Amino acid sequence: MTLNTLFGRSSLAIRLALVTVLLCAAMMVGLAGHAGAQSAGFQTDAATEAEQAAAPRRFVIRFLTEGEFPPFNYYDDEGVLAGFNVDLARAICLEANAACDIKVRPWDELLPSLGRGEADAVIAAHVVTAATLADVDFTDRYFHTPGRFAGRTEDGAHEVSPDGLDGVSIGVAKGTAHEAFVRAFFRDSKIVLFENPELAREGLQQKSVDVIFDDAISLAFWLNGSLSRQCCEFKGEAFLEPKYFGDGIAVAVPRSDPQIKALINDALKRVRQSGRFQELVERYFPLRIY
């Protein structure tokens, strides 16, 4: 064997060894890259799952209302459900990231349907009283229905107080909380009873009474409508005594579901903070009732 042959074989062996080492190194890098990709992919999947879990889930709030109490809930001229309560329910759903399902039932069926689990909430201008609290729970109050006096515009200002209305005739619908209120606080006035609020308003127009006392909301719409013939106006301030006019209007919810109460309360708070609540008040109650 010659020296050249020996070195030639050694050189070949060295080259083969180097190739082997390089191939092994490449394989190790490839495996490491594959493992890294798998790890990165796992981390991405985990992050996506975490983000999805953190994101609020969209669900449905099932509201019930009725359709014959404008401006709170009613059918408009085109037969579309509308009103302050209807738009407020939609605003609540929007703030709660929920879909809204609003169905109409007769007034007498609203709270029983809620008790049977056919809805999550009732938004139909229920006043919070001891009687209604016996059957259902309520959210935070979002509206009040005060009592107010109205009189003829031509008569000028009245001092609306027991002394200011001493001897003044007050028209009021009989058997109502408004009758009970004026009898309790305006004892020296002349209380004139009518079968219903509409007749009391006619009596005011015909000057058979000096002032009338009624629900401020219905009075506001009468004063602002054509039936009043612009005869009259509010006199004095609003009266909000809970004993007579309830503790405000709220959304009725089941006693067995504190979660829906908390959810709606939180959404109501955000509706107020956003300014949306005041927008609805100004849209549906153009004449101030307070």
Domain boundaries, the chain: 59-144+246-284, 147-245
The residues, any chain, with a CB within 8 Å of residue 221's CB and separated by 6 or more, are 70, 71, 287
Phi first, then psi: what are they for 193, rounded to 5°? -95, 140
Q: Minimal CA–CA distance to 219: which of 203, 201, 237? A: 201
* Fold match, 59-144+246-284 / 147-245: yes
Q: Which amino acid is at 275?
A: G
Please, what is the angle between helix 84-95 and helix 276-284, to 10°?
170
Q: Is 101 exposed, middle or buried (0-12, 13-18, 19+ CB in 10 A)?
A: middle
pLDDT for the residue numbered 53: 44
Alpha carbon separation from 23 to 10, 32, 198, 274 (Å, rounded): 20, 14, 99, 66
Phi first, then psi: what are they for 131, rounded to 5°? -65, -45
The residues, any chain, with a CB within 8 Å of residue 121's CB and separated by 6 or more, are 61, 62, 63, 64, 114, 139, 251, 252, 253, 260, 264
The size of the chain, in residues, is 290
pLDDT for the residue numbered 58: 56
Under a CB-based contact definition with an 8 Å cutoff, are residues 143 and 125 in contact?
A: yes
What is the full per-residue pLDDT of the chain (290 aa) written as tens digits?
Answer: 433 433 343 443 444 343 343 334 444 444 344 444 444 443 444 444 454 444 455 599 999 999 999 899 999 999 999 999 999 999 999 999 999 999 999 999 999 999 999 999 999 999 898 888 998 999 999 999 899 999 999 998 889 999 999 999 999 999 999 999 999 999 999 999 999 999 999 999 999 999 999 999 889 989 988 999 999 999 999 999 988 998 899 999 999 999 999 999 999 999 999 999 999 999 998 777 76
SS3 73: strand
Number of Cβ atoms within 10 Å of the Cβ of 75: 14
pLDDT for the residue numbered 166: 96
Topology of domain 59-144+246-284, CATH: D-Maltodextrin-Binding Protein; domain 2 (3.40.190)
Q: Which stretches within the chain are classed as H helix?
A: 3-54, 84-95, 107-115, 130-133, 177-185, 197-205, 216-224, 242-245, 258-274, 276-284
pLDDT for the residue numbered 212: 98
Alpha carbon separation from 182 to 148, 169, 179 (Å, rounded): 11, 11, 5
| Residues 276/280/282/288 CA torsion (nearest 10 deg) | -110
Element spanning 125, H or E: strand 121-127
Please, what is the angle between helix 258-274 and helix 276-284, to 10°?
80
pLDDT for the residue numbered 273: 98
Under a CB-based contact definition with an 8 Å cutoff, are residues 120 and 260 in contact?
A: yes
* CA–CA dist 11, 189 (Å, integer): 126
Topology of domain 147-245, CATH: D-Maltodextrin-Binding Protein; domain 2 (3.40.190)
Phi first, then psi: what are they for 163, rounded to 5°? -75, -40
